[in-house]
Amino acid sequence: METFITNVPSPVGPWAVEGTAEAITAIHLPDDRRRASRGTPPRAVKRAATQLEEYFKGTRRNFDVPRASVDATAFQRDVWDALVDIPYGEVRTYGEVARSVDRPRASRAVGNANHANPWPILVPCHRVVSTTGLGGYGGGDEVKRFLLDLEGVHY
């Protein structure tokens, strides 16, 4: 399956939306620079890019973009589903997410599932924090703080 990439600017650098006419295959963090494809973005990519632009402007809180099926474990899928349920402007700890997927001792595994999330922001792994601080983020602390600040969470 051939995918199309378009870049979306943000105050912390460009995000890359990758996908097809039907679904988004990945959202790439600003430190994972991807060259944009030539031509007109297909329907789903254009829609996701528009929604991300609205999110960065503070006018969008939810996303309704189809996500492509990806290789993942059942646990990863459960965690990603739990992340989508975290409301805009709120955070959960790794332990709270682990408990929500009936794996109360799997806090560290939740972090690994977050790191494997192919759709950051659409599946808001940035809303998961440590009990002792910010926690990790594949895009780095500055990007995670920016996203949380944008949503009004000062953690």
The enclosing domain of 130 has a CATH number of 1.10.10.10
Amino acid 1: pLDDT: 66
Amino acid 2: pLDDT: 87
Is 67 within a domain? no
Within this chain, do residues 98 and 138 fall inside the same structural domain, yes or no? yes
Task: Give phi and psi for 54, each to the nearest 5.
Answer: -65, -40
Report DSSP letters for 136-154, one per residue: --TT-HHHHHHHHHHTT--
pLDDT in tens, the chain (155 residues): 689 999 999 999 999 999 999 999 999 999 888 999 999 999 999 999 999 999 999 999 999 999 999 999 999 999 999 999 999 999 999 999 999 999 999 999 999 999 999 999 999 999 999 999 999 898 999 999 999 999 999 87
Residues noted as catalytic:
125
Q: Which residues contact 117 (CB under 8 A, 6 or more apart)?
A: 80, 83, 123, 125
Amino acid 49: pLDDT: 98
Closest of 132, 153, 141 to residue 86, by C-alpha: 153
Amino acid 41: pLDDT: 95
Within this chain, do residues 81 and 117 fall inside the same structural domain, yes or no? yes
Q: Which helix (H) or strand (E) holds 44?
A: helix 43-56
Within this chain, do residues 129 and 78 fall inside the same structural domain, yes or no? yes
Within this chain, do residues 78 and 144 fall inside the same structural domain, yes or no? yes
Within this chain, do residues 16 and 83 fall inside the same structural domain, yes or no? no
Report the domain count for the chain: 2
Within this chain, do residues 145 and 95 fall inside the same structural domain, yes or no? yes
Measure the CA dihedral 70/75/76/80, to 10°. 110
Domain residue limits at 17:
4-56
Is 108 within a domain? yes
Is 65 within a domain? no
Could you give the angle at the alpha carbon of 142 between the alpha carbons of 138 and 24, nearest 5°?
45
